[in-house]
Amino acid sequence: MTTLKDIAKAAGVSHATVSRVVNNGPKVGPVMREKIHKLIKEMGYRPNANARALVTQKSTTIGVVIPDVADPFFATLANGIDKVSRQHNMQLLISTGKLSAESEREAINLLLERRCETIVIHSKKIADDELIELFKANPHFVLIDRYIAEIKDKCVWLDNKEGGKIAARHLLSLKHRQLACITSSYEIEDPKLRLTGFVEELAKANITLDSQRVVSAEPTLQGGEIATQKLLASGQAFSAIFVYNDAMAIGAISTLEDNGYSVPNDVSIIGFDDVLLARYSRPKLTTLQYPIDLMAQNAAQIALHIGHEQSISIDTLKFIPQLIKRESTSTYF
């Protein structure tokens, strides 16, 4: 690869001069500047980002830790970060940490070795304490989809509990009284919080959700099918189901219809996330919108600005899911 020195030699100047024109620095004569530009083009010179990062002590890379690139939810998250990154001439370095503390740690470490000081982390498995320590040491870290009080000014999060409440209120307003819940079997906080919110709100209406009516499975389409089969097999009666996410909800609809139940005529279904799928499904899915794209953009902005002028108001860090009423829920008769 062509280097600064090569260009310098060809131009008959020192490499410092070439560096100046590459960086649009001052103190270079217009003639020389022109000549060097020409040479750079001819010889196909590209600055070495590694060398640059080494000497300037800053990288033009923003790191992202997510469990999986293929999952539409995380893909959207990454895309949100990408959008604001390119505005700041930063590039995305994705490090996948498959839902285990060990691999999340590993993913962060790899990013740290790359010296990308700016990192947006989606971590569900690393313990609070460890994360707190990590964030104290790295001022440009931002945590997304998780709230830890001690570092709350670095957390961009969704109020899952409130989401559960909103779902409950919606179903109650449609006169449903026999409710069921399909939740995720993953050992993370989100399903618990959503369920808690749901149950609390039902309690206000004097409805208790007995444990027989709560089934769990993997948070996937297949998981939704399996969970629904379990629910059906249990013989419980229900007119509406609050489902952990859209993928499971669509699996649930599929199984329900295969068993002769019509959605929403016989059973109302409400999902969570509002992924693309929700709009494409038939019936179109009523769900709670998880504004992950917006949240990711927000997180990136905070990560890039922290330490700079702006002070961020905590209010902008907490997001509330919004009810998207479509076709999968209807009034109970």
Partner DNA sequence: GTGAAAGCGCTAACAT
Partner DNA sequence: ATGTTAGCGCTTTCAC
Q: Where on the chain is the footprint of its own copies (CB under 8 A)? A: 1, 46-51, 53-54, 59, 61, 68-72, 75-76, 78-79, 82, 86, 91-96, 109-110, 112-115, 221, 247, 250-251, 254, 257, 276-277, 279-282, 293
Of 52 and 284, which CB lies nearer to DNA in the complex structure?
Answer: 52
Contact of residue 281 among its own copies, DNA, none (CB under 5-8 Å per partner type): its own copies
Least Å from the CB of residue 51 to its own copies: 5
How far apart are the C-alpha atoms of 222 and 170, rounded to whole Å?
A: 26
Burial class (CB in 10 A: 0-12, 13-18, 19+), 44: exposed
Nearest to 80 by CA among 168, 11, 156, 21: 156
Cα 82–324–179 angle (5° rounding)? Answer: 125
Rg (CA), the chain: 26
127 binds, among DNA, its own copies, none (CB under 5 to 8 A by kind): none
What residues have CB less than 8 Å from 24, skipping those under 6 apart? none
Structure tokens at 266: 């016989």
Stretch that binds DNA, among 45-53, 124-132, 176-184, 206-214 (CB under 7 A): 45-53
Please compute, for residue 226, the number of CA atoms within 13 A of its CA located in the half-sphere on the CB side: 11
Q: Is 16 in the site for DNA (CB under 7 A)?
A: yes
Least Å distance between CB 23 and its own copies? 13
Q: Which is nearer to its own copies, 110 or 172 (CB)?
A: 110
Question: Residue 102's beta-bridge partner residues?
Answer: none
The answer to the question of residue 52 lying near DNA (CB under 7 A) is yes
When binding is defined by CB under 7 A, the residue of 38, 42, 43, 48 that contacts DNA is 48
Distance of alpha carbon 119 from alpha carbon 131, whole angstroms: 13
- Residue number with CB closer to DNA (27 or 41): 27
CB nearer to DNA: pick between 89 and 311:
89
DSSP secondary structure, 210-273, as one string: -GGGEEEE-SSHHHHHHHHHHHHHTT---SEEEESSHHHHHHHHHHHHHTT--TTTT-EEE-SB
Near DNA by CB under 7 A, which window of 4-12, 68-76, 85-93, 243-251? Answer: 4-12
Using CB under 7 A as the binding rule, the residues of this chain from 247 to 266 that contact DNA are: none
- What does the binding site for DNA look like in residue numbers (CB under 7 A)? 1, 3-5, 12-17, 19-20, 22-23, 25-29, 31-33, 45-48, 51-52, 54-57
